[in-house]
Amino acid sequence: MAEGQSEFLKRLFSAIIILPAIIFIILWGEIPVLILLLIINGIALQEIYKMINNIGYTPSWWLGFVLSLYFLGNNFLNNVKIQCLTEDKNHEIFIVIIIIFYSFHQLFKKDHLKILPNISFTIFGSIYLGYLSSYIIKIRFLPNGQYLLLTLLCIIWVNDTAAYLIGTKFGKNKIFPKVSPKKSWEGALGGVFFSIILVLFLREWLNLDWIRILFLGILIALLAQLGDLFESLLKRCTGVKNSGNLIPGHGGLLDRIDSILFSAPAFYYFILFLR
């Protein structure tokens, strides 16, 4: 019990420090959000590639980061209607050149048997982090996007916190014990329940009817938990407990952002088509 309280205090202390900075950046503007996402992607890519190193493969961090930069930067430029070169997107030639250069570099590798897995892991990391997190930029560019993005983060934070506290106190029935031994059905249902309570308070502001608001709360809570479980699966596959130790009480940066990677695209399309 004392260990659980100590872990919760670490999480709370980290949140008190990090959350105000995140809120300030989101309210500041789209460019600060882009810069923050680039920093997050750079660190999280390093974490996930280091995890993959544990099973004997060496993804390319610089190629993964360049691809993530493309996903994030291209999304940003499209939203502000800026074209770097011409309207037919000839700026994509830089990605082609980088991929060709990287492929040429592989000819000098000694272990040819690991080239294809290394390339696959590199691309996976950039899509998992760079492409999925680019939806955060899309949300920020929506009308009142700063408040919508904060709404999404609040739902995820309430879901994570409720699932952790209820699961720690009452969790007995495990969901996927081989993937994540600590996650329980009691915690998961608690996270969904309190996410619904939160969106009910926000119903007037979101301008949603009862059916849509209930669907939103359940959708984001479930996808946030799925994102958490998927990252747990990656950790089990690579034999690590946490993706890193950057954030006290949370582990690595990837451990902190896994919940938003699946929920951000769903939230964006919900607002775009169902609101």
The tokens 């959000």 sit on which residue?
Answer: 33
The confidence band for 5, taking pLDDT boundaries of 50, 70 and 90, is low
CB-based contacts of 268: which residues, under 8 Å, 6+ apart?
135, 138, 139, 142
Rounded to whole angstroms, the Cα distance separating 125 from 205 reads 36
254 contacts 44 by C-beta, under 8 angstroms: yes
Going by C-beta distance under 8 Å and a sequence separation of 6 or more, which residues neighbour residue 59?
49, 52, 118, 121, 122, 125
265 vs 256, higher pLDDT = 265
Does the pLDDT value for residue 86 go beyond 50?
A: no
pLDDT band at residue 250 under the 50/70/90 scheme: low
- 144 vs 181, higher pLDDT: 144
Domain hosting 224: range is 2-274
Task: Look at the chain and report how many structural domains it folds into.
Answer: 1
